[in-house]
Amino acid sequence: MGHGKCLYASMYGIAYRSDLDTFPTPGLLGYWPDTVLANKNSAYTFRNSSGTSLITEKLKKAAEYVGLSHKGIHDIGSSWFGPAHLIIKLSSMAVVLSKYLRVYMFGPGSFCRCATCTELPLECTWGSGPYAGTILLYAQELAINQIWDKNQYDSLNKVNVDASTTTDESVCANLHLHVFHGSDRFSKFEFVDGRYKEFNMTGLKLSKARDFAIFLALKSSGQGIGEQEVSARYSIGGDGSLANVCKMDADISSL
């Protein structure tokens, strides 16, 4: 296994770790970061006005318990993009740490799992305190604290990883879109419920994050109407390439 990890790291210079409900964008083409990029505004710790929360304190103590450093870096998104050897290292650490956190924070005898409880304490539900459903985010936080320093964290002023699919922001100003919870277009819940089956795509401008996401989702699933017209307008051929959508929209706007 160790040999395999070294082989993968040598074969690929850049790697991505991401959730399934995401879309890569044309902005990825030719982009070669020399450090790990991630969204630092995920807000899963629900900190109060003083900047602290039960979650942040639990995670700091969890790191201390196993002798890891915690630099106070919280609320990091679930997607990472950067040098392959660092992404592999972070991913391996997160897998191990998630097993540890499942016992330390949510195992028998822990604050969130008492012997006489019939349901989760309010402090251990989403939005109120440590929540077992987001243990991956917690494990990734401990891992990223071993890789990043404060300068790297401070340098990430732009949210170009895990960007939203509900905005008119340029899709090519971002590297990667993440479909978050919600009903605003593009919504994964509306998509699963079949609400976009009759959606007319002909007015979509694919250089916009929202329109890019809905086109990609509907085209790949055979939903919606007007796909052929949009594909013809952007010269999207049999290979499905969307690499030139930003340039083409810029050219169209200049006419």
Q: Residue 189 domain-assigned?
A: yes
Domain boundary (89, 121, 155) is at 155
Query: In angstroms, rounded to a whole number, what is the distance separating the alpha carbons of residues 80 and 140?
Result: 10
Q: Model confidence at 102, in pLDDT bands (50, 70, 90)? A: very high
Higher pLDDT, 81 or 48: 81
Judge if 222 and 136 occupy the same domain.
no
Judge if 125 and 219 occupy the same domain.
no
Judge if 216 and 116 occupy the same domain.
no
Reply yes or no on whether the pLDDT at 114 is more than 80.
Answer: no
pLDDT score of 10:
54
Region 158-170 average pLDDT: 84
Percent of the chain with pLDDT over 70: 89
pLDDT score of 6:
47
Question: What is the identity of the amino acid at 1?
Answer: M
Region 30-49 average pLDDT: 84
Residue 234 belongs to domain spanning? 181-253
Region 130-143 average pLDDT: 92
pLDDT 10s digits, 222-248: 899 998 998 888 888 766 677 777 776
The answer to whether 131 and 46 have CB atoms below 8 angstroms apart is no
Query: In angstroms, rounded to a whole number, what is the distance separating the alpha carbons of residues 169 and 172?
Result: 9
Judge if 108 and 198 occupy the same domain.
no
Region 80-101 average pLDDT: 94
Judge if 133 and 187 occupy the same domain.
no
Q: Give how many domains the chain has, as a whole number.
A: 2
Q: Residue 163 domain-assigned?
A: no
Collect all residues with Cβ–Cβ distance below 8 Å to 252 and sequence separation of at least 6: none
- Phi and psi angles of residue 37, each rounded to the nearest 5 degrees, phi first: -100, 140
Judge if 82 and 208 occupy the same domain.
no
Helix (H) or strand (E) run with residue 150 in it: helix 150-155
